[in-house]
Structure 1
Amino acid sequence: MSPPCVAFPASELPLHVQADVKGKKRKLDGGGNVDLSQCDLKELTQYRCFVDDPALPGSPVRCWAVNRFFRQCRDKKGVFMVETSAWEGLND
């Protein structure tokens, strides 16, 4: 069974990323905290699609692009990814 998923506001992401999935503080070379803005930004485009009328054969399928953003960071254990879609642009 996977661990429970904790919901929190996007503005708190920099605080939550300081701990790993087990709740232990991430250790960085030279100490300090993880700075999400310094991690590499990655983008993934997914598509959300709907069939106009599923009961009608040949009904059109309409799709919309959904862009998701991730930050690729590094701690002493290696590389980890954090989804930052809701966080990106909050500090502009």
Structure 2
Amino acid sequence: MAPLVPVFPASELPDRVQIIQSSFKEKRRKGKPIDLHNCELMEMLQYSCNPPSEGIQKPGVIKCRPVVRLFRRCAGGVTVETTRWEKIKHEEGRK
């Protein structure tokens, strides 16, 4: 079973990436603070097959749709999914 992960708004990601959670306790990450803007932007394409929103398919029919996930790979091996954060950043840049 995967460990419990706290839920927080994407706008808090730059602050939350500075925290490590261990044994249900939070502590500040050692070293220099991570600036997500300086981390390499990476993309991964996954597929969601027979999503519930598409309804039940006929037997033998499989419908898949692409799902783009964005990540930032930072120094020290830290990799963070930033899909929603990137969208918020993009929307703010258009204002």
Determine whether 1:4 maps to 2:4.
yes
Which whole-Å CA distance do the structure 2 matches of 1:38 and 1:70 have between them? Answer: 12
Q: Which structure is larger by alpha-carbon Rg, 1 or 2? A: 1
Which structure dedicates a bigger proportion of its chain to helix? 2
Identity of aligned residues (%): 41
Which residue in the other structure is 2:57 paired with? 52
CA shift for structure 1 position 2: 4.8
Alignment size in residue pairs: 82
1:17-76 residue CA offsets vs partner (Å, 9 max, x unmatched): 011233332233xx4x211111011111000011722xx3xx3211100000111112xx
Alignment of 1:4-83 (within 5 A): 4-22=4-22, 23-28=26-31, 31=32, 33-50=33-50, 52-53=57-58, 56=59, 59-74=60-75, 78-83=76-81
Moved more, 61-70 or 17-26: 17-26
Q: Determine helix, strand or coil for the equivalent of 1:24.
A: strand
> Residue 72 of structure 1 aligns to which amino acid in structure 2?
R
Task: Name stretches of at least 5 consecutive residues in structure 1 with no aligned partner.
Answer: none
Cα RMSD for the two superposed structures: 1.9
Which residue in the other structure is 1:84 paired with? 82
TM-score, scaled relative to structure 1: 0.76
